[in-house]
Chain A
């Protein structure tokens, strides 16, 4: 159920994003989706790739600091109020969403959001109990 996300530390300077991207390109690793978190001084590049172990290895060999985090890929109806429905389900559970970003492709008629919860395992249970589909890694990679 959980997807592995790679986080890479970047300084907030022009050209810094090139380095990890080139490393992955040279290794023939396809980035399925990504997001950048940035502050005035530094940034965190968050990546979803299928071969996360391979990607981690090449990135670390190239001198990047990499962190592996569990995230969930949620299937969300692609219509007004779709995300709202999920948040309404989560609200009583007191689960904290640390951040989320959208997946670029659709899964059937639904959108896919990548969500980082403070407690991914409990989040899976809450979402399941309420009929929200959390994509299995293999399903996610297939649709990508």
Chain B
């Protein structure tokens, strides 16, 4: 095990034999299916419709007999419909943006919090964080799972956590230097912004003790990693997670930086054909489907992440027996992840409709700058919207931006464009134009 420092005891689970792991997985799978069947009505009804009983799950392969869970199931049962425990056992709620302005709510029991903290300890350990490190946590604190997830993990690891959250770049840089920060947690886009600010200042990186960072909550590329590492001199690790499963802490890179180890003792993974739902052989690309093996408050059975990846069948040289997935390359649905926030075109449509009453022709333009996704909403100007005064048009742009921000929770640039400039295909406008070709996959 090529580790410079002794690993945290929680990380021993990264190195189980595959047999030991499979035994734990099956035991936990059987328990979670029984729990869901007993407590979650939607799941029970679906099981009854297929005729599969919890006791039919005799091997790990039997997971394929269980029904899928979709993000829409969380929306349809808002807020607590998929909870499997009484509310008095839920010690934490988090939420992420949904498609209709209502968020998706997830809960954690005390035991779930321990699991979440533990997988984050293992995540940060794999990235070389250890006791004695000073960790600047730039993930957003609040309903978003990123901030508190990384916080609890870093604290349990024995590191010193600075819960600075995102924003206020000047203060971030002051803290980074004055507090002797050694490790950072951030979205790659925000860290890139920090790098640019540091480069523009007279200070530079030589005065900083920063050594490593974990980056996630939005898609980024291998090219982006190279840029971050070359410009800042730190090691940059990709982490993966989603609120519906637990938050950050589902999968992480190790020192080898070649694929993300999935914490398989807590999350059972499958790769399926996004169209048919059929299991794909190891190594082939498909949609990642995850089953939570230990979560009590809101167990997720065969959750369709819509993230496209593939399993790396070969064992990793780091010695971890946990299988790896390749960096997420794209998604199978129309969800976009912008600066850590899930954005659906339908949300943007709803916001535009609210401002103008009738839906203008619009288009969502996705581009990639420096390896990061950028989004712009273009709206065709109509006779009704057009005013002779610049201030009136700027006001309109502001109103549209604000309406989108209200629904999506993110500031997205709105650009007014001339009529008939947005391409229509068969009378219907193409809503999302994806120009992120350059270096899209790693």
Q: Do A and B interact with each other, yes or no?
A: yes
Give which listed residue, B382, B388, B417, contacts A116 with CB less than 8 A: B388
Q: Mark B408-422, 1 if CB is under 8 A from A, else 0.
A: 000000011111110
Say yes or no: B419 contacts A65, CB within 8 Å: yes
Provided the pairs A9-B381, A39-B394, A42-B393 are in contact, do residues A67 and B387 lie with their beta carbons within 8 angstroms?
yes
Q: What CA separation (Å) do A69 and B394 show in the bound complex?
A: 18
Provided the pairs A9-B416, A11-B418 are in contact, do residues A65 and B388 lie with their beta carbons within 8 angstroms?
no
Interface SS, B side = loop
Q: What CA separation (Å) do A138 and B7 show in the bound complex?
A: 89
What is the interface residue range for chain B against chain A? 10 to 19
Shortest beta-carbon distance from A38 to chain B in Å = 8
Q: Tell me how many residue pairs across A and B have CB atoms closer than 8 Å.
A: 50
Q: Mark A21-51, 1 if CB is under 8 A from B, else 0.
A: 0000000000000000101011010100000
Highest count of chain B CB atoms <10 Å: which of A5, A44, A65, A67? A65
Q: What CA separation (Å) do A65 and B396 show in the bound complex?
A: 16
Shortest beta-carbon distance from A52 to chain B in Å = 14
Interface residue tally for chain A (C-beta within 8 Å): 20
Interface SS, A side = strand
Shortest beta-carbon distance from B292 to chain A in Å = 45
Shortest beta-carbon distance from B132 to chain A in Å = 48
Interface flag for B383 (CB, 8 Å): yes
Provided the pairs A9-B381, A39-B394, A41-B415 are in contact, do residues A63 and B420 lie with their beta carbons within 8 angstroms?
yes
Residue of A nearest to B420 (CB): A63
User: Residues of B contacting A5 with CB < 8 Å?
Assistant: 388
Shortest beta-carbon distance from A96 to chain B in Å = 11
Chain A positions within 8 Å of B, measured between CB atoms, are 5, 7, 9-11, 16, 37, 39, 41-42, 44, 46, 63-67, 69, 98, 116
9 shortest interchain CB distances as A-B pairs: A7-B388, A65-B386, A69-B388, A63-B420, A9-B381, A67-B388, A65-B381, A37-B390, A67-B386
